[in-house]
A = this chain, B = another copy of it.
């Protein structure tokens, strides 16, 4: 996909070798302070230039009166000065050769100040600056330690490096998801709160992320779009190669009004959006939970079908898993005779060797190992859901290694279900941080798995790749 200059310049936003923070501050509670601190504390390896006309030094770094005063090259800038000062500093950025700008400042079209926003856009376009914002919450690239999200880390956690890139029209909703991801152990490639989209809009970001090697899954939170046709065309092309998971807010009548008042963007009907999403193979999330649950499953190897094998140390959870599986249109795998023989030989006599495979409440890690290995080998099983109740006396942390090792073989998707309190959550977080999608309930796991299997079918057919290939290898 040939990228426009403006979109190509997004490289400067996500992977700059030097960055200026315009509006940097010495006051700890100011946005312009938090952002400088993020770069310093985060270990950003390039140069950081605080810009402030009244400071000599900020957080140990020499400060400059203007970006024009910086001695070296400036790749990218974060702007957090009052709205009326933006035009001038943006023009200075252009003259300095800055290619990417994240404009945090609000007070533009979202409050009716469309004239000033147009002016800003003209300046950015004149210099071919890839400008994110205005009225946005910042940008995050965990791999390059770029972090212009202006909220402190103790309040809003930063996720590990991973393949999910997330673009959000709402800074608040975006921040919640990033914070959730950090806590759950889910990795992220890039996060962009794009605000009013005066220059770079959701389509530009989609195009950029489609070509981005760091991005395996694109996740979008959207309240309204200016050019729905373009969005769907862009998305349709991308979803042949990369999954897009999207939550469209403002689908109800009053929700659309609320969205209009919030971001000034027009929203369409729920049905129209759903139909369009299906056509473009966008995976639609109906809620915040689904957005998060769906996103984290797509870096698994492609399943060859929808026959699911279930392993559990709690019978009741097996029953719930089967209920959810049927509800989502998946199939309960019929174990091969060989599998049954193998399981009968290795499991205690009181275990029933059928699917869902209840390895009983006294199962330890080695019983999980036997069960998972048998199902990995069984050609009748396309994906494995492993329910682990960490409350039982026989279970210890070693079961986590068993599941991670099996998942690392990348033969079949392996999904974990762990429901419970602190001890459970700790282990769930470890599983997730090693790339095993882990859910709090059978229903959320099966729902995500169903979306993945349906997308995988489309993907393998379109790309003529064999099933059990990972999506990312095809790039």
Contacts and interface: CB of A to CB of B under 8 A. Distances in A.
Interface of A: 29, 31, 34, 111, 150-152, 154-157, 168-176, 179-180, 182-183, 221, 223, 249-255, 258-259, 261-263, 286-289, 313-320, 322-327, 332, 350, 352, 354, 356, 358, 361, 389-393, 419-425, 440-444
A151 to B, nearest CB: 5
Nearest to A172: B314
A183 B332 contact: no
B391 A175 contact: yes
Contacts of A169: 316
A326 B440 CA distance: 26
Contact of A155 (B175, B179, B391): B391
Given A172-B389, A314-B170, A422-B183, A319 B259 contact: yes
Given A170-B316, A221-B316, A419-B176, A322 B255 contact: yes
B425 A183 contact: yes
A196 to B, nearest CB: 12
A316 B223 contact: yes
A445 to B, nearest CB: 11
B443 A289 contact: yes
Given A155-B390, A170-B317, A288-B443, 7 more contacts: A151-B391, A172-B391, A173-B317, A174-B316, A176-B391, A182-B421, A252-B323
Contacts of A111: 350
Nearest to A326: B252
A357 to B, nearest CB: 10
Contacts of A327: 252
Contact of A175 (B174, B179, B258, B389): B389
A393 B152 contact: yes
Contact of A323 (B176, B255, B424): B255
Contacts of A29: 393
Contact of A151 (B157, B354, B358, B393): B393
Contacts of A174: 316
A53 to B, nearest CB: 23
